[in-house]
Structure 1
């Protein structure tokens, strides 16, 4: 399987990652204390990095949007559009799992 990596950077923030960006997110330290979703095999790594892991298509926490797998790309894309349209408000809010 080819790992895909998708990040956006806006004003120094990384608001989105889908499929397999989790190792980079762990290394930057931004996982700690955040709700996140990922490919199921990365669950333990994310929990060990201080994240609160959920098995859901899309998770938003403080403007960071994560998703699990290629089948979730549509839901991820819709959520990213929603986050972008809300601007700074989304960076302050934490949403519950879908």
Structure 2
């Protein structure tokens, strides 16, 4: 995977309370593949992770969400955690930032509770995806074709269920970003929308 993403820039959008391992492992995979990675958040300074059942570590924020747009990046990664997407989906700039990756034809990877943010951005209808099991009904109610699989790839949209799926998620995320597949275009073959 070395230098697969050389010359590419990827945004990871988080708010306080993101599931820490769903940030650190994808970031590491992106950097190992040669990408320049920016941590984007609602506030400047630092953002705090969540480790299973308690607060985790703090990580530096590279840019606030109002300072960036999809045109600055080659892909977007959305970690989960219950608090993180709930905080982000209540912020109009964060939702618009996510939506713009779909309208501008950039790859998007979302894991665990992060697809909540995709629902808020109104981009899941008719799309094959997965998520943390407790938000399955939210996905279906928003028109998604929900699948219980470790990774679902629909065009340039990559989704996974939980931290156990991170190896498959990271591999698929890097591949889709390397190819530059648009998250805005659904896979033509809905029956085989997975890796």
Q: Which runs of 4+ in 1 moved over 6 A?
A: none
1:8 aligns with 2:76: yes
Equivalent residue, structure 1, for 2:142? 49
Equivalent residue, structure 2, for 1:97? 194
1:83 aligns with 2:151: no
Equivalent residue, structure 1, for 2:36? none
Using the size of structure 1 for normalisation, the TM-score is 0.81
Length, aligned pairs only: 94
**Cα offset, 1:71, TM superposition:** 0.5
Using the size of structure 2 for normalisation, the TM-score is 0.43
CA distance in 1, matches of 2:155, 2:186: 5
**Cα offset, 1:16, TM superposition:** 0.9
1:63 aligns with 2:131: no
Structure 1: unaligned runs, 5 residues or longer: none
2:154 and 2:194 in contact (8 A); partners too? no
1:30 aligns with 2:123: yes
Structure 2: unaligned runs, 5 residues or longer: 1-16, 24-74, 78-97, 102-106
Larger Rg: 2
Q: Deviations over 1:66-94 (max 9, x none)?
A: 1000000110000011101212xx32462
1:66 and 1:76 in contact (8 A); partners too? yes
CA distance in 2, matches of 1:93, 1:27: 18
CA distance in 2, matches of 1:42, 1:48: 10
